[in-house]
């Protein structure tokens, strides 16, 4: 494969860049639920607290200049709801001004902006009201989204209302791993429904605000897509579980936004015509594959058991490195007939050579999906810089650029240069 063969691997105008999220890079998001949770003993690995994180709140200009110099023509970031609306119904002018500078900087560098409105963290006041478990959240999220569209809409090219809704619902409400540490399957899918409804309302609010100004905003979500294969391919039950997981975790949310039908397990099925067709693109976050098996020991998990392929290459968090999964996922979303953006894909590793191989192998699968007719229009690597990896703290290194958390020095890794060459030449080594 190569650009010299006369055909392009990636279409004209392809978006190339990286992604981050507010709480993971900004530092001092003292008004959200994660901040509170991190202060409790035993929650985050090694007792890490997000603290100053990457001090990106102050250093964004240098970080973006680095991305621009590496040839990135796009960047995905999230806004911190708890900064913009620090108390219910009170919007902070200063925070909005800050994000105007942030997005204006990207624009002045000629980069496209992709803005996430919710990336796992919640204002403290929202949590106090019951957060995403309460139906009122949809209206509150709509109001916040409308405010952002009014104040920042002229600087935003792509909107991601919610990052990884099913990951948020399962980690916070089913597995009890993240705040608010609930372990209830009913609650988890109730939250999934609330996330879908909130997305729908935000979608229409953004279109209303920006449609008036004669623009057609591009609004979607970033959907974590996990590849599920049966642990024992010869077992009919394992195959069934893999299919079921694919339906529940990968498809149900996207289907709800496609046809307005919220069909999640254990909660009542609901149809909302206003949810119908509320994605202008599909955002895919892809990391890994899981093996699925039927297990009588997991009634609370609907008899589904997940594991990682034993002899596979892994990242430093033990996730399988499985590039072909990206191709398979991209082929699986072709049927939605929407443009596709890879909103996240990356690897936690201390071996930068492994990151280089990861990038090339995954982009090869992207090129293959494009050749097979998937309308992929961009790739945003996770992440631009090392950052605070939620419950895992600062140890995992996801960055194209390394961060020394003591000095806040940045170190451009060879993989970042390799990625830069790929962007420049449009071809893969
Ligand atoms: C995603 C998430 C990011 C980042 C990444 C690596 O699920 O959106 O915030 O943490 O995974 O684990």
What is the four-CA torsion angle of 383, 191, 340, 79, rounded to 10 degrees? -50
Q: Is the pLDDT of residue 214 over 70?
A: no
Query: Given 38, 142, 164, 320, which residue is catalytic?
Result: 164
Q: Is the pLDDT of residue 205 over 50?
A: yes
According to DSSP, the residues that pair with 290 across neighbouring strands are 228
How many angstroms is it from 170 CA to the middle of ligand 1?
Answer: 14
Query: Given 85, 344, 365, 389, which residue is catalytic?
Result: 344
- Long-range contacts at 370-374 (CB < 8 A, ≥ 24 apart): 370/9, 370/10, 370/11, 371/9, 372/331, 373/334, 374/330, 374/331, 374/333, 374/334, 374/340
pLDDT band at residue 298 under the 50/70/90 scheme: very high
Give tens-digit pLDDT for 81-122.
999 999 999 999 999 999 999 999 999 999 999 999 999 999
Q: Is the pLDDT of residue 212 over 90?
A: no
CA pair distance 162, 155, nearest whole angstrom: 19
Q: Give the percent of the chain with pLDDT over 90.
A: 96
Look up the CATH number of domain 15-225+322-408.
3.20.20.80
Q: Is the pLDDT of residue 2 over 60?
A: no
Is 373 exposed, middle or buried, given 0-12, 13-18 or 19+ CB atoms closer than 10 A? exposed
Mean pLDDT, the chain, integer: 97
Q: Is the pLDDT of residue 3 over 60?
A: no
Residue 51: predicted pLDDT? 98
Mind spelling out the 3-state secondary structure of the chain? CCHHHCCCCCCCCCEEEEECCHHHHCCCCCCEHHHHHHCCCCCCHHHCCCCCCCCHHHHHHHHHHHHHHCCCCEEEEECCHHHHCCECCECCHHHHHHHHHHHHHHHHCCCEEEEEEECCCCEHHHHHCCHHHCCCHHHHHHHHHHHHHHHHHHHCCEEEEEECHHHHHHHHHCCCCCCCCCCCHHHHHHHHHHHHHHHHHHHHHHHHHHHHCCCCCEEEEEEEEEEEEECCCCCHHHHHHHHHHHHHHHHHHHHHHHHCEECCCCCCCEECHHHCCCCCCEEEEEEEEEEEEECCCCHHHCCEEEECCCCCCECCCCCECCCHHHHHHHHHHHHHCCCEEEEECCCCCCCHHHHHHHHHHHHHHHHHHHHCCCCEEEEEEECCECCCCHHHCCCCCCCCEEEECCCCEEEECHHHHHHHHHHHHCCCC
How many angstroms is it from 315 CA to the middle of ligand 1?
Answer: 14
Residue 215: predicted pLDDT? 72
pLDDT band at residue 140 under the 50/70/90 scheme: very high
Atom 12 (ligand 1): residue with closest C-alpha? Answer: 389
What mean pLDDT do residues 195-215 have? Answer: 91
CA pair distance 69, 63, nearest whole angstrom: 10
Tell me if residue 88 is catalytic: no
Q: Give the percent of the chain with pLDDT over 70.
A: 98
Question: Does the Cβ of 170 fall within 6 Å of ligand 1?
Answer: no
**pTM for the full predicted model:** 0.97
Give tens-digit pLDDT for 242-278.
999 999 999 999 999 999 999 999 999 999 999 999 9
Give tens-digit pLDDT for 303-333.
999 999 999 999 999 999 999 999 999 999 9
| Joined tokens for residue 367 | 């090129």
Q: Is the pLDDT of residue 1 over 70?
A: no
How many angstroms is it from 5 CA to the middle of ligand 1?
Answer: 36
What mean pLDDT do residues 207-225 have? Answer: 90
Which of 118, 285, 384 has most ligand 1 atoms within 8 Å of CB, for mutation? Answer: 285
Residue 418: predicted pLDDT? 98
Domain boundaries, the chain: 15-225+322-408
Residue 328: predicted pLDDT? 99
How many angstroms is it from 359 CA to the middle of ligand 1?
Answer: 16
Question: Does the Cβ of 386 fall within 6 Å of ligand 1?
Answer: no
Is 212 exposed, middle or buried, given 0-12, 13-18 or 19+ CB atoms closer than 10 A? exposed
What mean pLDDT do residues 2-14 have? Answer: 74
Residue 4: predicted pLDDT? 44
Q: Is the pLDDT of residue 213 over 90?
A: no
Tell me if residue 310 is catalytic: no
Question: Does the Cβ of 21 fall within 6 Å of ligand 1?
Answer: yes
Give tens-digit pLDDT for 161-171.
999 999 999 99
């Amino acid at each position: 494969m190569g650009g010299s063969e006369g055909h392009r691997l990636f279409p004209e105008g392809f978006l190339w860049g990286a992604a981050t999220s507010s709480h993971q890079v900004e530092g001092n998001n003292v008004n959200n639920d994660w901040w509170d949770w991190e202060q409790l003993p035993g929650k985050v690995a090694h007792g890490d607290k997000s603290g100053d994180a990457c001090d990106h709140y102050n250093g964004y200009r240098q970080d973006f200049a680095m991305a621009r110099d590496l040839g990135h023509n796009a960047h995905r970031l999230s806004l911190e709801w708890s900064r913009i609306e620090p108390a219910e119904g009170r919007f902070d002018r200063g925070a909005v001004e800050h994000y105007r500078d942030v997005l204006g900087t990207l624009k002045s560098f000629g980069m496209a902006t992709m803005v996430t409105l919710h990336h796992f963290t919640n204002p403290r006041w929202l949590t106090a009201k019951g957060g995403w478990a309460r139906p009122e959240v949809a209206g509150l999220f709509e109001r916040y989204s409308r405010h952002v569209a009014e104040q920042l809409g002229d600087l935003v090219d792509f909107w991601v209302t919610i990052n990884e809704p099913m990951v948020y619902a399962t980690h916070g409400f089913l597995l009890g791993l993240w705040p608010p540490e609930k372990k209830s399957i009913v609650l988890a899918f109730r939250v999934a429904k609330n996330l879908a409804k909130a997305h729908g309302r935000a979608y229409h609010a953004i279109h209303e605000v920006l449609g008036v100004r004669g623009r057609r905003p591009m609004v979607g979500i970033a959907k974590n897509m996990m590849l599920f294969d049966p642990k024992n391919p010869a077992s009919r039950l394992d195959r069934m579980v893999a299919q079921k997981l694919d339906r529940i975790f990968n498809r149900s949310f996207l289907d709800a936004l496609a046809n307005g039908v919220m069909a999640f397990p254990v909660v009542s099925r609901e149809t909302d015509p206003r949810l119908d067709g509320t994605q202008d693109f599909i955002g895919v976050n892809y990391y890994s594959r899981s093996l699925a098996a039927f297990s009588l020991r997991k009634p609370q998990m609907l008899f589904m058991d997940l594991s990682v392929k034993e002899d596979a290459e892994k990242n430093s968090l033990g996730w399988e490195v499985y590039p072909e999964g990206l191709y398979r996922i991209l082929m699986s979303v072709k049927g939605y007939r929407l443009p596709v953006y890879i909103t996240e894909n990356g690897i936690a590793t201390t071996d930068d050579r492994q990151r280089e191989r990861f990038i090339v192998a995954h982009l090869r699968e992207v090129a293959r999906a494009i050749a097979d007719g998937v309308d992929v229009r961009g790739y945003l690597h996770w992440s631009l810089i090392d950052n605070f990896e939620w419950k895992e703290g600062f140890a995992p290194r996801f960055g194209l650029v390394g961060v020394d958390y003591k000095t806040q020095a940045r170190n451009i890794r060879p993989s970042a240069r390799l990625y830069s060459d790929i962007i420049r030449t449009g071809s893969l080594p």
